[in-house]
Structure 1
Amino acid sequence: MRAMILASALALSSFSALAEPVPFDGAWKTQRFSLFSSNTYRFQGATMDVLSDGSVSMAYRQLDPGQWDTRGASWDWSVVEGVDPTDLTRKGGDDRNLAMYFVFLPRAEAEALRGSNIRKLLQNEQARVLVYVWGGDHARNQQLDSPYLGARGKTVVLRAAGTGSHRESVDLARDYARAFGGQVSALVGLAVSADSDDTDGAIRARIGALRLE
């Protein structure tokens, strides 16, 4: 029995050692979608605050080649004020409290596009994007077609619209295979967005303890 406990502890410690924290620092860049409105992102090292007032934009971080083989991720997120439930499949009517984007490319394409901004990556025909969402009016773990990315992106609902605090852990390799088939490609970037422009709502939220595994 003692040997089994020791083996389990060693396995857990090995897994934890592989988990790599991702700080919310100056490596994150913001991407506007409109000249006249944008969310506010406050990068605070361990956490990022997101404020959205009838606006939408994205914060993006490029990943180093040493992180391209990531197969899982976890993070904390909390919402103290959010938007009403929406249909996340409806373009122009899909407000959501928070969305976490994981952007994948074939390795050769990833090498060629190093340093590119998030807009260019999302428009690349070879990109595949998993978007984990807190918001909308859908069941947990439901996988939806993206109204913006077409066959290149899938929305995975983690939380319906509402407030609170939660810890999430996702299996990127499993969800990628379910969404696109085949083996997961290189994870080249992360992005966070909040979207309140269609409902003219307000979002006050925070993300922290982001780790790649």
Structure 2
Amino acid sequence: MPKIFRFSARPVLSGALLAASLALPVGAASVPFEDSAWKVQRFSLFSGNDYGFEGDSLSVASDGTVSIAYRPLAPANWGARSASWSWSVDASVPATDLTQKGGDDRNLAVYFVFLPEAQARELQGASITRLLNEDAIRALVYVWGGDHGRGDVLPSPYLGERGKTVVLRAAGTGAHGEDIDLAADYARAFGSDAPGALVGIAVSGDSDDTESRIDASIRNLAVN
């Protein structure tokens, strides 16, 4: 049974209470993994991860490859300030330094992409690569991988001041549930308690630097 992790101190749940905790909170909006809503961006013409879009779950298989899957959120969800999901890893990359460009393989990364509302409206429909190059973008990247402490906020080797890596799980296998306070983490990462519009979410797996293999999945993704 997955364990629950939250940055604010709270007891670990078990049994029936844990199962209940994984249900959608009141007011939460499910973010389904529908093939038509997600767009996969490869960084190499010849290779990329294999994504399986299966409604409430997404499988990720990576064999010395890297790519990212992105979906925009509807304006009705732009005000979301928390998120939850469960994920599992059956085959893991080795521990890496997530601050090192070109040496930062990780099993899974979940990106929450924010923009000021004015820019959010102007950039509706933009690709993830364009969004991540916008000066106004801010991205919280929650990671399962690396050799860092749980809850560490790290500089991104690719996004500079536009993005921060938040470590949830070190490299390794297992299954866990996450319950995330996006607003609190945004304040820790960027020194501001006022996130912009949550315009989209992305999921990636990265095994190209270590030429290793990932078998992983994420399910029951929701924002609130």
Q: TM-score, normalised by structure 2?
A: 0.88
Which residue does the alignment assign to 1:208?
219
Correspondence 1:94 to 2:113: no
**CA–CA distance in structure 1, aligned partners of residues 188 and 151 of structure 2:** 12
Which residue does the alignment assign to 2:31?
22
Task: Give every structure 1 segment of 4 or more consecutive aligned residues whose post-TM-superposition deviation is greater than 2 Å.
Answer: none
**CA–CA distance in structure 2, aligned partners of residues 30 and 179 of structure 1:** 27
Code of the residue aligned with 2:201 in structure 1: it is L
**CA–CA distance in structure 2, aligned partners of residues 146 and 55 of structure 1:** 19
Which residue does the alignment assign to 1:113?
123
Q: CA deviation at 1:20?
A: 1.0
Q: CA deviation at 1:49?
A: 0.4
**CA–CA distance in structure 2, aligned partners of residues 119 and 113 of structure 1:** 12
Aligned pairs, how many? Answer: 200
Unaligned runs of at least 5 residues, structure 1: 1-11
Code of the residue aligned with 1:39 in structure 2: it is N
Q: CA deviation at 1:36?
A: 1.5
Which residue does the alignment assign to 2:208?
197
* Higher helix content, 1 or 2: 1
Q: TM-score, normalised by structure 1?
A: 0.92
Question: Of 120, 129, 145, which aligns to 1:135?
Answer: 145
Identity %: 61
Which residue does the alignment assign to 2:68?
58
Code of the residue aligned with 1:139 in structure 2: it is G
Code of the residue aligned with 1:118 in structure 2: it is I
Unaligned runs of at least 5 residues, structure 2: 1-20
CA RMSD of aligned residues (A): 1.1
Q: CA deviation at 1:37?
A: 1.1
Q: CA deviation at 1:17?
A: 2.4
Correspondence 1:103 to 2:113: yes
Bigger radius of gyration among the two: 1
